[in-house]
Structure 1
């Protein structure tokens, strides 16, 4: 069995239909993996959800690291490059689950504390990366030097999540990058 294939199928279905509305039987049928193999690797749907969260975290980490390493670009250019990548993913998912983390956090069972903690940790790491970028922007003269890096990085993440949600409701991924450009204009 290809665990990765099952996780990718589950990641898609959980966003399209919802975690609660996706059955293990449906996952077996669509992934074309036997039920015994499915339960051998994932003892429950919650365990599979945890693997799906890891899948999204790894997907985002890879994209973030690849883009952030492009130091020849300005901070804004790097962030917009990442957001353009996010926008393409949102469009490919047909605007379902624009932010997989928020979508799956809300859909996860109340007792799924490990899942909720993992998502919380992801957002803390994302904010820390944004904090480093804002510092770089200040050091490079791209942004004013009198801004509070902690507040601005927190505000950016909140702004991004709002933009992702609005892009889903309006079916317009350009909201994501437009909002970021407006945000960066306030930092100059």
Structure 2
């Protein structure tokens, strides 16, 4: 009996984080109570607090969840060398657009949304989100390097600068998509960006 309970703990923790990840974006971190997380996840409050000492702890776990989602997808597309860089990035953006549509355009960029919503004292959360963007830039730069090597883009392009500009453009597009309830702005922005790289 005890072994079964122990085996179910990681699954329970994962499920609570996945549920909270959606609730915090859709309803807002401040307005989502631990009781709501309990109701939606169907995991007891005592079990939730077994894994998370506080709501802030759960928020940090949610940020880590989104980091793993994004990085896992990016690493996958980095490895798809048979596709062009443009094809890989658009495949990644398509997956983002799908998620935004499924959330009814709430929380276009999980990281910016959670950064804005997190309490002032949640320095660990803010630091993790900041580190995500710092680590994201070299991943995107590597893709642009591959594009230059394959003659997809102009050889005069600086991959690091292009990556920084691309991330900034995409964040703006994600915000516009959320306010307009239209993901096409993300795709259109990416098309315009790639036109400048050729």
The two structures have a TM-score, normalised by structure 2, of: 0.92
CA distance in 2, matches of 1:28, 1:104: 20
Is 1:37 the counterpart of 2:57 in the alignment?
no
Q: What secondary structure does 1:141 align onto?
A: coil
Q: What secondary structure does 1:39 align onto?
A: helix
Instruction: Map 1:97-108 to 2 at 5 A.
Output: 97-108=107-118
CA distance in 2, matches of 1:35, 1:162: 38
The ranges of structure 1 where at least 4 consecutive aligned residues each deviate by more than 6 angstroms after the TM superposition are none
2:90 to 77, 80, 94: 80
Is 1:176 the counterpart of 2:166 in the alignment?
no
Aligned residues: 188
How much has 1:149 moved relative to structure 2? 2.0
Q: What is the root-mean-square deviation in Å for CA atoms of aligned residues?
A: 1.0
Instruction: Map 1:47-66 to 2 at 5 A.
Output: 47-66=57-76
> 1:124 maps to which residue?
134
> 1:23 maps to which residue?
33
Show structure 1 runs of 5+ residues with no match: none
How much has 1:64 moved relative to structure 2? 1.1
> 1:167 maps to which residue?
177
> 1:9 maps to which residue?
19
CA distance in 2, matches of 1:82, 1:29: 32
Q: What secondary structure does 1:20 align onto?
A: coil
How much has 1:77 moved relative to structure 2? 0.9
Q: Cα deviations across residues 66-105 of structure 1 (Å, max 9, x unaligned)?
A: 2221101111111111111111111111111010000001
Q: What secondary structure does 1:22 align onto?
A: coil
Show structure 2 runs of 5+ residues with no match: 1-8
Q: What secondary structure does 1:111 align onto?
A: coil
CA distance in 1, matches of 2:70, 2:78: 12
The two structures have a TM-score, normalised by structure 1, of: 0.96
How much has 1:147 moved relative to structure 2? 1.9
